[in-house]
Structure 1
């Protein structure tokens, strides 16, 4: 019961879900950025800085990270998506687009579907560093795996903070706590349900070893609209060096795109697939 009260209190303060808060002048489109496993919202401020001022980059700050370090992280994705849907709808954004890297790609598509079901349209979904919707790269080891196993997996992806994790025990403990919770999100995070109405853009690093053997075309089955794909130089964290090109793709995808309309009621086929 105490945990439920704490979650309710978090919903009373919508600002805490968005790094930088909501007290600022918004442009035409707000790009809500969802983190990778173990990641923080602040990463997007560097990765996608070039997207502004055309697009407002709004990192989503999940519990257990950075400014919300004292809060328990989520381990169940349906619960997280339900709360995110509520706070996003209450935030007063002008035009919503979603960007998610790795685990965040799954969060983005599931959040898009939930928002559309609630009558809130999404202009575009950008999924990065992840294979098709049925593939879950971070679930290659159990939530109780030894620290060394998780750290080795992070090193293999080229995680930008890997050396710092090895050097600073306190930082390592904080990140491992979040990663273990995020593995729970991954394990409860099938991209299930009907296709979304928003168009999808898929981005991956050419040298990323993670998507070897993945069927990236599977993303096309997740939208009633168009699905385009880009492969850029770099590994799993290609965003570190390719932020300007990713920002260009985002701006081009959103420029001139008409404002989306709230989706109508699902068809019988869509209802049966839920």
Structure 2
């Protein structure tokens, strides 16, 4: 019988690059309505020392037939379980928007299982104790689509083609439900180093909400400012990947905890 982590890994993890002895395994978590394939082409643009994995949420792409999850606990628990088999090399997590807090919750669960995420990159989202809430997940389809349009001036065929809405909206609505109902009064401080990617023209996060990520780590916070809107990482893809690589390849592993 296959171990549970292997079965979970096959469902949840898309290994866009795996090598025998990488220095890092970078695991990516998508925004609301997003999927693992958002990160697929990052593999060719990262140094060979960095493996690239992405988490595939249920209810989209090759998991379209599966029911979407509707709460953070279920999503983070399943993703953390799926990563057990990849923890034989140092792990770094990158999450954008919704993915930022999913990555944080996964890191917290892995740490509880004695798997330390060495580096956590959180992009374009407030700290866990600064969540804004909201009711868009309970509203009409058009309100959800309008909110996604608000976050980027780039054309998005998923938003403009009514024939695609049937495929796109269920995952989007459930992702909004997760993020709008999520929050922690105070975050669990991690051993992970946290680097915040803060887009300065993004209406979804302000500077105080970005700096508040310090409460989620025992390590000093590093904040990196970006010129751009919520989806700055599309326009500045290579610069972002260079920043990730520079940080990871310039880091030494975290010290083992004192008994």
Cα distance in structure 2, aligned partners of 1:183 and 1:24:
35
RMSD: 2.6
What is the aligned partner in structure 2 of residue 99 from structure 1? 94
In structure 2, what is the equivalent of residue 272 of structure 1? none
The residue matched to 2:192 in structure 1 has which SS? coil
Aligned to 1:253: 247
The normalised TM-score by structure 2 is 0.88
Asked if the contact 2:45–2:241 (Cα under 8 Å) also holds between the matched residues in 1, the reply is: yes
Kept in 2, the 8 Å contact 1:121–1:263? The answer is: no
Shift of 1:194: 2.3
Pairs within 5 Å for 1:221-232:
221-232=215-226
- 1:133 is displaced (CA, Å) by 2.3
Does 16-25 or 61-70 show the bigger shift? 16-25
Q: Which residue of 2 aligns with 1:233?
A: 227
Count of residue pairs the alignment pairs up: 256
Q: Deviations over 1:190-227 (max 9, x none)?
A: 24542000110000222222224753210111100121
Matches within 5 A, 1:41-190: 41-46=36-41, 49-136=44-131, 139-158=133-152, 162-167=156-161, 169-190=162-183
TM-score (norm 1): 0.83
For 1:228 and 1:184, locate their aligned partners in 2 and report how far apart those are by CA, in whole Å. Answer: 29
State the distance in 1 between where 2:257 and 2:154 align: 39
Structure 1 Cα separation of the partners of residues 242 and 222 of structure 2: 14
- Aligned partners of 2:90 and 2:5: how far apart in 1? 24
State the partner residue of 1:30: 25
Structure 2: give runs of 5+ residues left out of the alignment: none
Q: Tell me by how many angstroms 1:10 deviates.
A: 9.4
From the superposition, tell whether residues 147 and 53 of structure 1 become closer, same or farther in structure 2 (CA, over 3 Å).
Answer: same
Shift of 1:255: 1.9
Is this contact kept in 2: 1:15–1:21, CA < 8 A?
Answer: no
Any idea what SS the aligned residue of 1:183 has?
helix
Q: Distance in 2 between matches of 1:121 and 1:10?
A: 17
CA distance in 2 between partners of 1:47 and 1:140 (Å): 32
Question: Offset at 1:63?
Answer: 0.8
Distance 1:246 1:149, change over 3 A: same
The answer to whether the 8 Å contact 2:17/2:51 transfers is no
* Residue 117 to residue 159, structure 1, CA distance change in 2 (3 Å): farther
1:196 aligns with 2:194: no
CA distance in 2, matches of 1:216, 1:119: 27
Q: Deviations over 1:218-258 (max 9, x none)?
A: 01111001211111122100000111111122122212422
Moved more, 20-29 or 36-45: 20-29
